[in-house]
Amino acid sequence: MVPAAFTFPALGGFYANGGSPAAVAEAALARIAAWDDPALFLARVPEDDLLARAGALAAEGPRGRPLYGLPFVVKDNIDCAGLPTTAACPDYAYAPAADAPAVARLLAAGAVLLGKVNLDQFATGLNGTRSPHGTPRNPVMPDCIPGGSSSGSAAAVAAGIAAFSLGTDTAGSGRVPAMACNIVGLKPSLGLVPTIGVVPACRSLDCVSVFALTVADACAVLGVIAGAAEGDRYARPAPPAWRAAPAVQPAWRVAAPLAEQLVFDTADDAALYEAALARLGPVRRVDVAPFLEVARRLYDGAWVAERTAALRDFLAARPGSVHPVTRGILEAGFGKLTLDAWEDFHAAAEARRLARLLFEGVDALVLPTAPGVPSLADLAAEPVAANSRLGTYTNFANICDLAALAVPAGFRGDGRPFGVTMVGPAFSEARLAGLGAVMHAGAGLGLGTLGGAVPEAPEPPALAATELPLLAIGAHMAGLPLNPQILRHGGRFLREARTAPVYRLHDLGGRPGMVRVGEGGVAVAGEVWAVPAAAAGPFLAEIPPPLGFGRVEMADGSRPLGFLCEAAGAVGMPDISATGGWRAYLAAKEGA
């Protein structure tokens, strides 16, 4: 039987047991008919073509394709050959000659396209109501907005029609709809996924985003679509050690805004946010005023003019074809001054600098995805103000060159969903996903509107052939000050571990030194990390003497690389072996 929830493991199991992509395609068609929302799809793959594609996949078999037989939809500002691209503006429609690179990669990976879905016109809005085709129904709360601008992309996943979808995100359009529809929204780093074949909003800030029922599913899609494409002027390569799969770790350094910088629609929203933070352990409160300030510039400065520039000719020729609210926003761009734009760019540069400093000390900034989900009536009463409020915690991410992941976090007493977003530096998707998987699993929620259990956070993957195990016994461990260094070199946590009892541990003045001894040794607690073999040399070059890398004897008999100290460097330094490890030593000092 076709699974009720189109999660990747469920569909993978269905296929492994002899199920056919044709059966899944037929189930998707039945769900579209049962859902019966005329505002959801703007263009459908013809049923005969859809079934023919699924039948061909069934005849071929998986052939190692990672998205084999998974049905998906695409926001209608992304090109799909054979279907018109309209950006929810009928008079703007054109017939693309080719798939956008992201779509082409999904199809090559075995996914099955169902069609193109509704959006806030020209991806301008965060609420989902700015479309001449109507507002897609929110599967969780029909009287609430679905979120935008990727409204149809989120609704189709939450309703169980698609296993995943593509959206776009400039100001939060890949995150706000995820919260409104109780699903996961992944906003990649700028330039990681090609934006060729995407109708531009703010071309320098646009991202192709992913919606899915689980964090792991969203990451699997990102792993397929990431990578530069020829001719993409804003593409940039990911670091060699970048990966999409969730990277878990035993402790997290988490930051959250100061209490006075938080705004919520209701006390329930505030309580759900604080409950989500409480599940993470200690949280560092930080001043996010510079980020909130630069966020306000997104719709009141240079980036409005960038939106206008993208549609200048069409807006001049066909102003009546544009949604009234969207037209008002775009026309405002004509009056922006170049000298004001430079003020915006300088403010953005300062915000990026401050972000770099913040993420030297924390793994993620955890934010409310939005202050709350307004009803359709709330939005109609204040179409601009309510929309702006939705972007409170999202508008700055792309300006500051950050990655972000939105996950569900609970439901208010009135049934409206709430969510949180993990924000981190560019190319930190794996780390955010590791934290996001923990938070999603800990929220005790179902998948979209489909029920079912959110999977537990994944265990660290086994050591790859291109990686070396490295034992960290000091400040390079998760949550400690030098952990960003090991992360920068592509390190990922594998497990907690202890050495064989043949070492002594010393405090070298803020860092530990572990020395092998002939007798009187103790077992030292640490963490085994996987580090790309190619990064070992550059990493070692950054380690100051008397420390270096050497083979460490572990309690289980393994011998990973590890941080060892020259015996002469520990002479006269305090022996802290009795504590059993650096974390325990720091805790004892703090409690003294």
Summarize pLDDT for 245-297 with one digit per residue, the tens: 998 887 788 999 999 999 999 999 999 999 999 999 899 999 999 999 999 88
How far from 253 is each of 213, 361, 440, 473, 526, CA to CA, in Å? Answer: 26, 7, 17, 17, 17
CA dihedral of residues 430, 434, 440, 442 (deg, nearest 10) = 180
**What pLDDT band is residue 69 in, cutting at 50, 70 and 90?**
very high
Q: What is the DSSP letter of 258?
A: -
Q: How far is CA 59 from the centre of its chain?
A: 34
What's the mean pLDDT when you consider all of the chain?
94
Inform me whether the pLDDT recorded for 77 exceeds 80.
Answer: yes
Q: What is the DSSP letter of 392?
A: T
Which helix (H) or strand (E) segment holds residue 132: the answer is: none
Alpha-carbon gap, residue 458 to 295, rounded angstroms? 34
| CB-neighbour burial class of residue 11 (10 A; exposed 0-12, middle 13-18, buried 19+) | buried
Alpha-carbon gap, residue 69 to 11, rounded angstroms? 8
Whether cis (ω within 30° of 0) applies to the bond prior to 546 is yes
Sign of the dihedral through C-alpha 249, 255, 259, 262: negative
Residues designated as active site:
75, 149, 173
Alpha-carbon gap, residue 30 to 278, rounded angstroms? 41
- For the record, the structure tokens of 126 come out as 């965060």
Alpha-carbon gap, residue 246 to 356, rounded angstroms? 22
Inform me whether the pLDDT recorded for 15 exceeds 90.
Answer: yes
Alpha-carbon gap, residue 124 to 132, rounded angstroms? 13
Give the amino acid at 177: P
- CB atoms under 10 Å from CB of 181, counted, come to 35
- 């992941």: which residue's tokens? 405
Inform me whether the pLDDT recorded for 355 exceeds 80.
Answer: yes
Alpha-carbon gap, residue 31 to 139, rounded angstroms? 13
The arithmetic mean of pLDDT across residues 364-385, rounded, is: 96
Contacting residues for 457 by C-beta, under 8 A, at least 6 apart: 246, 248, 434, 437, 438, 441
Task: Convert 447-479 to b/e letters by CB count within 10 Å (16 or more is b).
Answer: bbbbebebbebbebeeeeeebbbbbbbbbbbbb
Domains in the chain: ranges and CATH: 8-442 (3.90.1300.10), 467-591 (3.10.490.10)
What digits encode the pLDDT tens for the residues 193-232?
A: 999 999 999 999 999 999 999 999 999 999 999 999 999 9
The arithmetic mean of pLDDT across residues 377-398, rounded, is: 94
Whether the Cβ atoms of residue 264 and residue 370 lie closer than 8 Å to each other: no
pLDDT at 220: 98
Inform me whether the pLDDT recorded for 88 exceeds 80.
Answer: yes
Q: What is the DSSP letter of 122?
A: G
Contacting residues for 63 by C-beta, under 8 A, at least 6 apart: 110
Per DSSP, the three-state class of 385 is: helix
Task: Convert 484-516 to b/e letters by CB count within 10 Å (16 or more is b).
Answer: bebbbbbbbbbeebbbbebbbbbbbeebbbbbb
Alpha-carbon gap, residue 169 to 376, rounded angstroms? 22
- CB atoms under 10 Å from CB of 232, counted, come to 16
Give the amino acid at 102: A
What digits encode the pLDDT tens for the residues 116-149?
A: 999 999 999 999 999 999 999 999 999 999 999 9
pLDDT at 281: 86
**Where are the alpha helices (H) located in 181-226, listed in sequence order?**
215-225
Whether the Cβ atoms of residue 447 and residue 5 lie closer than 8 Å to each other: yes
pLDDT at 540: 92
Alpha-carbon gap, residue 11 to 4, rounded angstroms? 10
Tally the residues of the chain. Answer: 592
**What pLDDT band is residue 592 in, cutting at 50, 70 and 90?**
low
Contacting residues for 32 by C-beta, under 8 A, at least 6 apart: 40, 41, 44, 114, 161
pLDDT at 329: 84
Q: What is the DSSP letter of 504?
A: E
Alpha-carbon gap, residue 397 to 421, rounded angstroms? 11
- For the record, the structure tokens of 511 come out as 């860092």
pLDDT at 327: 87
What digits encode the pLDDT tens for the residues 292-320?
A: 999 988 888 888 888 888 888 898 889 88
Alpha-carbon gap, residue 289 to 78, rounded angstroms? 34
pLDDT top residue among 176 and 458: 176
| CB-neighbour burial class of residue 225 (10 A; exposed 0-12, middle 13-18, buried 19+) | buried
pLDDT at 162: 98
In 3D, which of 483, 487, 476 has the Cα closest to residue 526?
476
Give the amino acid at 406: A
- Calculate ∠ Cα 296-302-306, nearest 5°: 115
pLDDT at 331: 83
| CB-neighbour burial class of residue 435 (10 A; exposed 0-12, middle 13-18, buried 19+) | buried
Which helix (H) or strand (E) segment holds residue 52: the answer is: helix 47-60
pLDDT at 493: 86
> Roughly what angle, to the nearest 10 degrees, separates helices 215-225 and 429-442?
160
Write the DSSP string, 259-325. Answer: GGG---SSHHHHHHHHHHHHTT--EEEE--HHHHHHHHGGGSSHHHHHHHHHTHHHHHH-GGGS-HH
In 3D, which of 75, 83, 67, 408 has the Cα closest to residue 213?
408
pLDDT at 308: 86
Q: What percent of the chain has pLDDT over 90?
A: 81
Proportion of the chain in helix, strand, coil states, percent, rounded to 5: 35, 20, 45
